[in-house]
Structure 1
């Protein structure tokens, strides 16, 4: 891959998508599905890489999409006209035809809560984004959107499906809970131990305090995901 990631100055919001593909996949099928998405986005559409910043399968596993580091505000290609300053998370499957799974929603919420927390964005807040041009908002239009919004909020599309849209309130609530728990853990480390939180301790204590099973928060870093998928 010769494409060079673009990094925005900050992050203002997160966008929830679905891939609109099959829902009948097994856990072992996911790397192959990701390879297919990569080829379609990077080669067929010419986007250079997967358009989404992260993808979540129905088992609750999180996979990095667009390369460049999950901790950076890498500009994706997931919400045409609203890619800059947003973090795109896509649920693997078609959630206009079947309900989402609890594990999936837990993981979508947690990675969004974590990502927004890095940039001090309130999951219940809002952001003003300038449209680059969609079939819903003309280029140059300033649009106020929830800090966590569905793709269909910026474009005439069903994405992330009626069952995905029905979970937006829960995603915001869970993301807020994760964000608050992480802030509390950071403060405790500083107050009680006189140092910042290490990555493992921060992740595990935040997970426990936010009420999620640790396994549900298994993240696939860029190298792990890409090696598994054979990229």
Structure 2
């Protein structure tokens, strides 16, 4: 029987921020490394009935096939914008040769993966997945006082790669990181928008399709404000 690691936890962005707090005094992140999985794809994730098995499959490939000792990344962002636990934050990632570690065991990059194939013509990095990636990058940089120059795409460290995807523009990504710090959605504002605008629209909707779309938009607001 294949080995499976059972204890990968899934967090909302807000929950993950709480998870990070104890590590502020335990580890010094030197950079933020941004990756896309290429495989598994968003389509693979959508087809899976038990989502944790996607994370466990990555763990088996990284830890056993590649012999990296654990899943490569500290965090994995799924297509729904949730953050999955990865390797210990106290351990250096398996991110890119020559960029993983320092002489000090407690100084290393923070690495995250976004599930999907984001090369041109394949899948798109968008919606709540992009929002979580932007927020997580911004928060790690702010909490560990990292300059923008220390946010690295995988392809910068390995020119043979397109990772996190040839369709993902680094200048555009960094602009979103900068902008998000100014417009962070908080739960009170999200709930006011839902109560004042979306709830009346839901009751006035003429079809089930319209109600379903309004419900989806309300949940997107809840996710953006860390409530889901």
TM-score class, shorter-chain normalisation, is 0.5 to 0.7
Displacement of 1:219 after TM fit? 9.9
In structure 2, do the counterparts of structure 1 residues 8 and 38 end up closer, same or farther at CA, with 3 Å as the change threshold?
same
Displacement of 1:205 after TM fit? 6.6
Hey, what does 1:132 align to over in structure 2? none
Displacement of 1:47 after TM fit? 1.5
In structure 2, do the counterparts of structure 1 residues 110 and 206 end up closer, same or farther at CA, with 3 Å as the change threshold?
farther
Hey, what does 2:16 align to over in structure 1? none
Residue pair 2:187, 2:225 contacting (<8 A) in 1 also: no
Hey, what does 1:52 align to over in structure 2? 73
In structure 2, do the counterparts of structure 1 residues 29 and 107 end up closer, same or farther at CA, with 3 Å as the change threshold?
same
* Distance in structure 2 (CA, Å) of the matches to 1:90 and 1:50: 11
1:153 to 152, 156, 179: 156
Hey, what does 1:23 align to over in structure 2? 42
* Distance in structure 1 (CA, Å) of the matches to 2:227 and 2:32: 17
Q: What are the equivalent positions in structure 2 for 1:69-80 lying under 5 Å apart?
A: 74-80=91-97
In structure 2, do the counterparts of structure 1 residues 53 and 179 end up closer, same or farther at CA, with 3 Å as the change threshold?
farther
Residue pair 1:107, 1:217 contacting (<8 A) in 2 also: no
**RMSD over aligned Cα, in angstroms?**
3.1
2:178 to 151, 176, 194: 176
Residue pair 1:204, 1:214 contacting (<8 A) in 2 also: no
Deviates more, 1:7-16 or 1:152-161: 7-16
* Distance in structure 1 (CA, Å) of the matches to 2:181 and 2:100: 23
Report the number of matched residues: 164
SS at match of 1:78: coil
Deviates more, 1:8-17 or 1:111-120: 8-17
* Distance in structure 1 (CA, Å) of the matches to 2:188 and 2:181: 9
Q: Which has more radius of gyration?
A: 2
SS at match of 2:58: helix
1:113 to 116, 120, 138: 138
Residue pair 1:113, 1:179 contacting (<8 A) in 2 also: yes
In structure 2, do the counterparts of structure 1 residues 154 and 29 end up closer, same or farther at CA, with 3 Å as the change threshold?
same
In structure 2, do the counterparts of structure 1 residues 8 and 89 end up closer, same or farther at CA, with 3 Å as the change threshold?
same
* Distance in structure 1 (CA, Å) of the matches to 2:225 and 2:95: 23
